[in-house]
Amino acid sequence: MTGDRSEWEPKIVGFLCNWCSYAGADLAGQSRLEYPPNVKIIRVPCSGRVNPLFVLKCLSSGVDGVLISGCHTGDCHYSEGNFHARRRFTILRKLFEYLGIDPKRFQMAWVSASEADKWAKLVKGLVEEIRQAGPNKLGHR
């Protein structure tokens, strides 16, 4: 999967919170909404579970884009996890930008369990954005 851009397909990892975003993606399935297959979902209990180290691991393993998706603020199943995640990843994202890492490669979203449509659109948009950003050159793959 190197070099040739015509063969290249964006590889995206999505960390989805179990209660809202994962369920939102479930609903997208139940509603038979079609979206590109590029996002690989890693289920986590809460967006607050996501460690910046995971994001780094993705980007340094040749993943082209990382998405963290959780409940809307105020809806967190654990009440505050997404608030913690928001602050944590706001800093990481600022740092990425500063170090010259395309911020498109690291994104966050709030997708509720009922927002199947938002999920499908989010994936489509994300894949498009990453496609434009091109392959991630940081990774060893």
Distance in Å, CB of 4 to other proteins, minimum: 19
Note whether 129 binds other proteins by CB under 8 A: no
Indicate whether 29 belongs to the interface with other proteins (CB under 8 A).
Answer: yes
Residue 28 to residues 57, 89, 113, Cα–Cα distance (Å): 28, 26, 9
- Please pick, from the candidates 1, 40, 114, 128, the single residue that binds other proteins as defined by CB under 8 A: 40
CB of 103 to other proteins, least distance (A): 7
In this chain, which of 20, 49, 65, 127 binds other proteins, going by CB under 8 A?
49
What's the angle, vertex CA 40, arms to CA 106 and CA 31, rounded to 5? Answer: 110
d(Cα 45, Cα 20) in Å, to the nearest integer? Answer: 10
Distance CA 8, CA 94 (A): 28
* Residue of the chain from 20, 44, 127, 130 that contacts other proteins (CB under 8 A): 44
Pick the binder of other proteins from 10, 20, 21, 48 (CB under 8 A): 48
Please tell me whether residue 133 binds other proteins under the rule CB under 8 A.
no
Rounded Cα distance between 82 and 74, Å, is: 8
Asked whether 124 and 36 are in contact (CB, 8 A), the reply is: yes
How many alpha carbons lie under 13 Å from residue 76 in its C-beta half-sphere?
19
Instruction: Examine residue 87 and tell whether it contacts other proteins (CB under 8 A).
Output: yes
Q: How far is the CB of 67 from other proteins (least distance, A)?
A: 9
100 binds other proteins (CB under 8 A): yes
Rule CB under 8 A: say whether 127 interacts with other proteins. Answer: no
Q: How many residues are present in the chain?
A: 141
